[in-house]
C-alpha cells in the first residue's frame, strides 16, 4: 500500500498514476470536495480524516503502508513535517512531490514570509486588497489591525463550508468572489478592475495554482503584488515530476 497526501489537483492525479501503475493506493484529503474528485479513480482508498504525526503513524502501521508520497500543497508545511516524522518512526520511505514555482518577472512584487506580514504589507501598498490566497488563512487578514479601514476582497472556492467560514468572519457578499480557479489572465484583469483592486496578495502555488496569470494580470495593470514565500522545509527526498516519483517507488518497493 502506498499512502499519498493528495489534497491538490496534481496530488490526485499522481495518486491516479500510481494506481494505474498497479499499486494499491490510499489517498488522503481533508475536504468532501477532494473526496468526490478522487472517486473518479476506481479502486482508490480515500482517507478523509486529518492525521497528525501520531495518528498518521498509527494509520501506517494498521494499514501496512509501505511508502509515503507527499503531494500536499506547497504551503502545507505541517503536513510534510508530520509525514516525515511518522515515516522516520515506522521506517518507511518518504518522497516529496513538489510542483515547481512560477518564475517571477515583475519588479513590483513584495515578498513576505507569513500571512500576518502579508496583511501589513498589503495595507501599506493599497486601500483595496484583493486576496487570491484561498480561505484557510482569511482570519489573519480579517483580524489585522493594519487592514482596519481597508477594503479586503477574498476570492475563495464556492463551497458551502468555505462560504460559511467567510460569514463567520463577518464578511459580506460584496467582499467575496466565490469562483473556482485557476483563472485566465483576462479574467484576472476583469476581476481586479471590477473590484477596484489596488494590491494583490498571492502565493507561488505554481502554474497549476494559477500564479502565472495572477502575476501577468497584475503586471499589465501596474498593481503591486504581495507574495507569500513558500515555507522552508528540509524534505528527505524531493521529486518534481511524476516519472521521478514512479522511479523512486519502483526502486524502494518494486514494480507491480
Rounded to two decimals, the pTM is: 0.83
Give every residue of the chain whose pLDDT is below 50, as ranges.
none
Domain with CATH 3.40.50.720 in the chain: 2-100+232-253
Domain with CATH 3.40.50.1980 in the chain: 109-228
From residue 249, alpha-carbon distances to 61, 91, 129, 162, 205 in Å are 19, 15, 44, 35, 25
Residues 70 and 5 sit within 8 Å (Cβ to Cβ):
yes
176 forms beta bridges with 154
Residues 18 and 25 sit within 8 Å (Cβ to Cβ):
yes
How far is Cα 115 from Cα 17, in angstroms, rounded to an integer?
Answer: 34
Residues 228 and 201 sit within 8 Å (Cβ to Cβ):
yes
| Cα four-point dihedral sign 64, 69, 73, 78 | positive
Fold of the domain spanning 109-228: Rossmann fold (3.40.50)
The pLDDT, as a whole number, for residue 100 is: 87
From residue 39, alpha-carbon distances to 55, 64, 218, 233 in Å are 24, 22, 36, 31
The pLDDT, as a whole number, for residue 256 is: 58
CATH 3.40.50.720 fits 2-100+232-253, yes or no: yes
Amino acid at each position: 500500500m502506498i499512502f499519498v497526501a493528495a489534497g491538490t489537483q496534481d496530488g490526485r492525479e499522481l495518486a491516479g498514476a500510481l494506481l494505474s501503475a498497479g499499486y494499491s493506493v490510499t489517498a488522503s484529503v481533508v475536504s468532501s470536495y477532494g473526496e468526490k474528485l478522487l472517486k473518479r479513480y476506481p479502486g482508490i482508498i480515500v482517507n478523509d480524516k486529518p492525521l497528525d504525526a501520531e495518528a498518521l503513524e498509527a494509520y501506517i502501521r494498521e494499514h501496512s503502508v509501505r511508502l509515503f508520497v507527499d503531494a500536499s500543497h506547497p504551503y502545507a508545511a505541517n503536513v510534510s513535517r508530520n509525514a516525515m516524522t511518522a515515516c522516520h518512526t515506522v521506517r518507511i520511505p518518504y518522497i516529496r512531490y513538489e510542483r515547481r514555482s512560477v518564475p517571477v518577472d515583475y519588479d513590483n512584487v513584495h515578498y513576505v514570509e507569513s500571512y500576518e506580514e502579508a496583511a501589513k504589507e498589503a495595507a501599506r501598498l493599497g486601500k483595496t486588497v484583493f486576496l487570491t490566497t484561498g480561505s484557510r488563512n482569511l482570519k489573519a487578514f480579517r483580524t489585522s489591525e493594519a487592514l482596519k479601514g481597508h477594503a479586503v476582497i477574498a476570492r475563495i472556492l464556492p463551497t458551502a463550508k468555505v462560504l460559511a467560514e467567510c460569514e463567520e468572519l463577518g464578511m459580506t457578499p460584496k467582499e467575496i468572489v466565490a469562483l473556482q480557479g485557476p483563472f485566465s489572465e483576462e479574467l484576472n484583469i476583469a476581476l481586479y478592475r471590477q473590484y477596484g483592486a489596488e494590491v494583490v496578495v498571492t502565493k507561488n502555488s505554481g502554474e497549476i495554482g494559477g500564479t502565472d496569470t495572477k502575476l501577468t494580470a497584475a503586471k499589465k495593470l501596474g498593481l503591486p503584488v504581495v507574495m507569500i514565500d513558500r515555507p522552508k522545509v528540509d524534505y528527505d527526498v524531493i521529486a518534481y515530476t511524476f516519472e521521478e516519483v514512479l522511479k523512486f517507488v519502483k526502486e524502494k518497493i518494486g514494480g507491480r
